[in-house]
Amino acid sequence: MIGTSPEQAWQVLLLACQAVPSSRAIGLMLIALSAVCFAAMPVFARAVYAAGGDPGTLLTLRFCGAAVVLLLLAFGRRAAIPTGRSLVGLLLMGGVGYVSQSLSYFTALTMTSAALLGLLVYLYPAAVAILARFFFGVALTRTRVLSLTLALVGAGLAIGPLGGGGSWVGIGLGLLSALIYSFYILAATRVTRDVEALSCGCRGSRRPTGLARSDRAGVCCSAGPVNVS
């Protein structure tokens, strides 16, 4: 810098470095952004249904639009192309896991209220913790058990007053969506471990938002990160 001493330039550089958000901060911001987008998703879905669309049309538009955007980003950043088992795993996660979860969710949205469906789908942290204990031997601490119990009791109480806003078939599809997403998250902790997040999205799968930056080896749940590595 012209007109500044080396000490002043060094101080300016240190301040600039401190102003750059950390990887964990960026990860937390991505998680918050993801939550906002998920909250708005039923609103846009209902708009599509009101215009005469159905879950199949909605998912086609959603995945095709996302594919175009992600492919452009991947080519622009020259993201590495997964191969071998990683590629097969990503295709299965996206083509089977995430499509099944999305189809269950958006079909349930035609049969039940968005508020009730949101409560049902967000039971998945409890399912993740239980499945991680069963498949990976992750310990269920007292804090986690208490948190998961409160989450399940709260959801059970909510189904009563909100259950009038939908059918039992819709409730069942909402629970199925949460269960599929739980398996999807557990699979993502293994399949996407050495794969760039952008490459995951371009192969029809997606790493849970923020996982790549905030906690590569963990699963975020209501009772805290569950390490399954």
pLDDT digits (tens, 9 = 90+) for 159-212: 665 555 568 898 899 999 999 999 998 888 888 776 666 556 655 545 554 443
Question: What span, in angstroms and rounded, lies between the C-alpha atoms of 79 and 196?
Answer: 7
Those residues whose C-beta lies under 8 Å from the C-beta of residue 174, and which sit 6 or more positions away, are 104, 105, 108, 112, 116, 117, 120, 121
Phi/psi of residue 93, nearest 5 degrees: -60, -45
pLDDT digits (tens, 9 = 90+) for 72-86: 888 887 877 777 887
Question: What span, in angstroms and rounded, lies between the C-alpha atoms of 214 and 18?
Answer: 18
pLDDT digits (tens, 9 = 90+) for 84-123: 887 888 888 888 889 999 999 999 999 988 878 888 887 8
pLDDT digits (tens, 9 = 90+) for 21-48: 667 788 788 888 887 888 788 888 988 8
- Looking at the whole model, is its pTM more than 0.95? no
Q: What are the CA-CA distances from residue 177 to residues 15, 130, 185, 220 (Å)? A: 46, 16, 12, 18
Question: What span, in angstroms and rounded, lies between the C-alpha atoms of 229 and 157?
Answer: 34
Residue 27: CB atoms within 10 Å: 20
